[in-house]
Amino acid sequence: MKPRKYLMTAVAAFVLSACGGVNNRIPFVGAGESTAAQGGLGGGAGQAGQGGQGETGGEIAGPAPIPQLAAAQSGSLGSSCESLASFIFDKTKIVTATTVSAGTLTVAGIPIEEHCRVTGKMNERVGPVDGQPYSIQFEMRLPKNWNGRFLHQGNGGIDGSVATATGDTGAGQTNALKLGFAVLSSDAGHSAAQNPLFGMDPQARLDYGYAAVGTLTPMAKALVKLAYGRGPDRSYFAGGSNGGRHTMVAAARYAAEYDGFLAVSPGFNLPKSSIAQLWGAQQWATVATDLADLETAFPVAERRLVADAILARCDALDGLADGMVNDYQGCRKAFDIQRDVPSCRGARDGTCLTDAQKSAFSNVYRGPINSAGVALYANWPFDPGMVASGWAGWTFRNSVGANRGPVSAVIFATPPEPAKLADTLAYALTFSLDVDAPKFYATSGLYTESAISYMTPPNPENLDMLRNRGAKMIIVHGEADGVFSPNDTAAYMDALGRRYFGDESKFVRFFRVPGMGHVSGGPATDQYAGLNILIDWVEAGRAPSSIVAQARGAGNPSGVNADVPATWAPNRSRPLCAYPLIAFYKGGDPERAASFACEKASN
């Protein structure tokens, strides 16, 4: 490729994005550069961070070509499963190695072929603060018939349990183990019994944030090599929710070890989203009729009232009134809760909202802003998926429940405040954006990394290693996610666009899912072959401009989504468009993805 040349400017700056929490490097800008926000994918401009020829400016060469990675080659277990119990690796203890017969394990109704299950633990130790025993517990499932690939499964919540290592993300049509991957799962360095008090231990915090991944990866690859006679040809990382955060953190911290990343509904800025959850609880509490049940602030009848108003204003912006809002940007401008939802003149009866309810709604959807006017997290898109029970669970109960939002007092605050766990509702309702939120950025002599530091990479938009290796990342996020805003993920993509001048689409693509809740569910087309599409991009160079997703209506073999409206075809399909494009109706069967095209969203 002939090098491109850029005229450097004399100034570069670093900007901290207040709502997205991304340290955005403003690169040396050349004339004629395009960004993702200017429409289209894969703009042909150069990358940031390429150096220069002196402070006064000069010409610099363009980026190196992105290499194409070769496809993985299949193999098979070279020895008995039980013999893997003798595996030796530094600070590692194998507990069991047993054969699992074909059909013994099923995932979403799909029987899994014969494989070997290995369990073990790494880095056994005693915590210096609480005297508790800690280790990184794991399981690996190694199929008899191997596809030459390894997948690290990122798990959700606050971890603490070794979820079955299947590589199943969201409402996918298959799973990694079924496809022949060797799959790893772990508890991220603490047990469920230690939740959330593991936050008292400095190392357990780091393991939860990122260090367990760095510890486990070389061990897992060595075990794959022992099992199959060679290491994995291609390595992948996938997960949803906190597992999506694990995935995106690995893309920045451990890109040398992985070739493909699939992040679903990622809590990329998880400490900041916790602030938003606690802030939201405070807003809903002002209008709840029962503080023990914050959903009384905005029950389903009133949510449906608002959802219908959103649809009335926004549904047809994409050319078709179909119960879905594709044009999220246009809807942000078109919908006004003060104007579009009736105001109550008397008691609440499900046909109106009080002025106080409208104020609470507006505050929540705006996102938390401290007294200095600084946004501490992203805002939220208006989407009719708020009618789903899953949205209500994340919005009203996750913000105040045990092992949910209030665990921030122990896991994210420095120093930890375990006494706050005695009354999680009180902690949520008295959390101060000015006093308590800064504790998530704090360090001490014992806790040397802040929650913001260990939960997100130090330079999250720097994906140079990922790009230069030929690795790829796909991010999928639902518009009706009740805990992590897709607009926060969009802010991350915009930061990449500024760093890579629009070329980020050559190695990272983001797909928004109208109606989808957290990871799956909601009135949405939430089933798609994400892992297969990622493999095709990584190993065959076929970049996805869109992903065809379908609804899980009646008869879906992987499980029915009860949120799919009866008025939809049970297998309705839609294209999920690569950000910033959205799906517009072009004519034809309104239930089929082929009737839509991905185009630039409204300005």
Instruction: Give the pair of three-digit tokens for residue 498.
Output: 């500024």
Cα dist. 322→10, 239, 515, 527, 568 in Å?
51, 30, 12, 18, 8
DSSP state at residue 112? P
> CA 274, CA 276: separation in Å to the nearest integer?
5
For 15-34, give the DSSP string. Answer: EE-TTT--EEEEPPP-TT--
> CA 275, CA 486: separation in Å to the nearest integer?
16
368-389: string of b/e by CB count within 10 Å (b at 16+)? Answer: bbbeeeebbbbbbbbbbbbbbe
Q: Which of 135, 235, 241, 546 is catalytic?
A: 241
Estimate to the nearest angstrom the gap between the alpha carbon of 94 and the chain centroid.
31
SS3 percent helix, strand, coil of the chain, rounded to 5, is 35, 20, 45
Q: Where are the alpha helices (DSSP H) in 89-211?
A: 176-179, 202-206
Q: Is 289 exposed, middle or buried (0-12, 13-18, 19+ CB in 10 A)?
A: exposed
- Nearest-Å Rg of the Cα atoms of the chain is 24
Does the annotation mark 464 as catalytic? no
Pairing of strands 115-126, 133-143: antiparallel
DSSP state at residue 396? I
Q: Which of 322, 481, 494, 526 is catalytic?
A: 481
Q: Where are the alpha helices (DSSP H) in 260-354?
A: 270-285, 300-314, 328-334, 337-340
Instruction: Give the pair of three-digit tokens for residue 142.
Output: 């190694």
545, 535 Cβ separation under 8 angstroms: no
Q: Which of 518, 546, 563, 595 is catalytic?
A: 518
> CA 528, CA 567: separation in Å to the nearest integer?
21
Question: Strands (DSSP E) along 367-417, which ranges?
Answer: none
Does the annotation mark 518 as catalytic? yes
Q: How many Cα neighbours within 13 Å face the side chain of 97?
A: 15
**Tokens 């109704």 correspond to what residue?**
109
> CA 535, CA 474: separation in Å to the nearest integer?
10
Pairing of strands 234-240, 149-154: parallel
25, 461 Cβ separation under 8 angstroms: yes
Dihedral class, residue 392 (left if φ above 0, else alpha if ψ from -120 to 50, else beta): alpha
Pairing of strands 13-16, 581-585: unpaired
> CA 357, CA 382: separation in Å to the nearest integer?
16
Does the annotation mark 481 as catalytic? yes
- C-alpha torsion angle, residues 393, 397, 398, 401 (rounded to 10): -150
> CA 250, CA 210: separation in Å to the nearest integer?
8
Q: What angle do helix axes 212-228 and 242-253 make, rounded to 10 degrees?
A: 80
Catalytic residues: 241, 481, 518
